Structure 1
Amino acid sequence: MISVLLPSRGRPQSLSDSIDSLLDHADRPGCIEILTGADPDDPDTYEINLPWQAIPWTAPERYGYSRLHEYVNQLAAKASGDWLMLWNDDARMLNDGWDTAVHKQPPSVLWPYSNDIPTCNTFPIWPRAWTDHLGHVSLSPHCDSWIQYLGQTLGLHQRVDVHILHDRDDLTGGHNDQTRAESLAGYRTTDYGSAAMETARAADVATLKTLLNIA
């Protein structure tokens, strides 16, 4: 099973379309678990009618983009799949059999193809066992960068034949809305490169090296 971690805000139709793209292109949609997260002040999102593969969760309070990792960590703690995957409500899966492509890979951080910045793994896929062992996905709202860093530092970061469209304002002109404005105002405020965050990532790498028996 693949567990998809999907926080969302203010985009019920886009959320539904995003989930449909994952399930419609999967060889085994019954083995896709989609964990959605919403704020308590966003009923249009948490009350939406979703497929049975989607498991909704409402945060105890509004975290906002500066606490995006708290949504993701909470969703990951509820996951039951062998793999975890970061996903967005403005993302669309493009190729059939993407789940089969994932299951053929050895345990590592998988890097799908997308229209994002070429050096960024915006939608990483990685073994749930890693997150279970660490007790979190990320300690920064830059969850994708955190997971990419772990994979690259461990030497376990590889491309997978999975293709994604990121329909974001600066990339395609899509989803130029209040949610996008809030992300620009809040998501980028945390200093991902601070000494404290660098120390925390190094600690995660050391823990995973022990788990994976990497020198």
Structure 2
Amino acid sequence: MISVLLPSRGRPQPLAETVATLLELADKPGGIQILIAADPDDQPTLQAPVPWQASVWAAPERYGYPRLHEYVNRLAEQADGDWLMLWNDDARILTEDWDRLVEERAPGVLWPHSNDIATCNTFPIWPRTWTDHLGHVSLSPHCDSWIQYLGQTLGLHQRVDVEILHDRADLTGGHNDQTRAESLAGYRTTDYGSPAMDAARAADIAALKQFLNIA
């Protein structure tokens, strides 16, 4: 099973569309678990019609983009899959049987192809056992960068032949809305590179090296 971690805000229709593509293009849609996080004040998202493979969890309060990792960490606690996949409501899967391509790979951080920044693994896929062992996905709102760093540092970062369209305002002109504006205001890249975050990532690396028996 693959558990998709999907925080969403103010986009019930795009949310429904991305859930549909994840399931329609899967080889085994019954093996896809889609975990959606919504803010308590976002009723359209909380009430979005989703298929049985998906569930919507209401956060106890609105964390916002500066605390994006808190949504993701809480969703990961609910995951049952062998793999975790970070996802956005403005993304679309383009590859048929994408889940089979994931499941055929050895454990590590998988890097799908997308139209996003060439050096960034925006939609990482990784073993749930890593997150279970660490007790979190990320301690920074830059969850994708955090997971990519773990995979690269451990030498376990690999491409997977899954194509993704990131329909984001600066990439395609799509979804140029209030949610996009809030994301631009909420991320602070300097925080990701702070001494405290560097130390936290180093601690995660040490813990995973011991867990995976990597010298």
Q: 1:56, CA displacement in angstroms?
A: 1.1
Which blocks of at least 5 consecutive residues in structure 2 are unaligned? none
The DSSP-based 3-state class of the residue aligned with 1:5 is: strand
- Seq. identity, %: 76
Opposite residue 73 of structure 2, the aligned amino acid is N
| 1:147 corresponding residue in structure 2 | 147
Q: How does 1:53-132 map to 2 (within 5 A)?
A: 53-132=53-132
Q: 1:173, CA displacement in angstroms?
A: 0.2
2:184 is the counterpart of 1:203? no
- Tell me the number of residue pairs that the alignment of Structure 1 and Structure 2 aligns: 215
Separation (CA, whole Å) in 1 of partners of 2:57 and 2:189: 25
TM-score under structure 2 normalisation?
A: 0.99
The DSSP-based 3-state class of the residue aligned with 2:145 is: helix
| 1:36 corresponding residue in structure 2 | 36
Separation (CA, whole Å) in 1 of partners of 2:47 and 2:195: 40
Q: 1:55, CA displacement in angstroms?
A: 1.4
| 2:4 corresponding residue in structure 1 | 4
C-alpha contact (below 8 Å) 1:10/1:44 kept by paired residues: yes
Opposite residue 46 of structure 2, the aligned amino acid is Y
C-alpha contact (below 8 Å) 1:140/1:190 kept by paired residues: no
Q: 1:194, CA displacement in angstroms?
A: 0.2
Q: What's the CA shift string for 1:23-45, capped at 9, x where partnerless? A: 01000000000000000010000
C-alpha contact (below 8 Å) 1:68/1:187 kept by paired residues: no
Which blocks of at least 5 consecutive residues in structure 1 are unaligned? none
Q: 1:149, CA displacement in angstroms?
A: 0.1
C-alpha contact (below 8 Å) 1:66/1:190 kept by paired residues: no
Root-mean-square deviation (CA, aligned residues, Å) is 0.7
Q: What's the CA shift string for 1:111-146, capped at 9, x where partnerless? A: 000000000000000000000000000000000000
The DSSP-based 3-state class of the residue aligned with 1:130 is: helix
Opposite residue 170 of structure 1, the aligned amino acid is D
Separation (CA, whole Å) in 2 of partners of 1:156 and 1:4: 20
TM-score under structure 1 normalisation?
A: 0.99
Q: 1:190, CA displacement in angstroms?
A: 6.0
| 1:49 corresponding residue in structure 2 | 49
Q: 1:187, CA displacement in angstroms?
A: 2.2
The DSSP-based 3-state class of the residue aligned with 1:184 is: helix
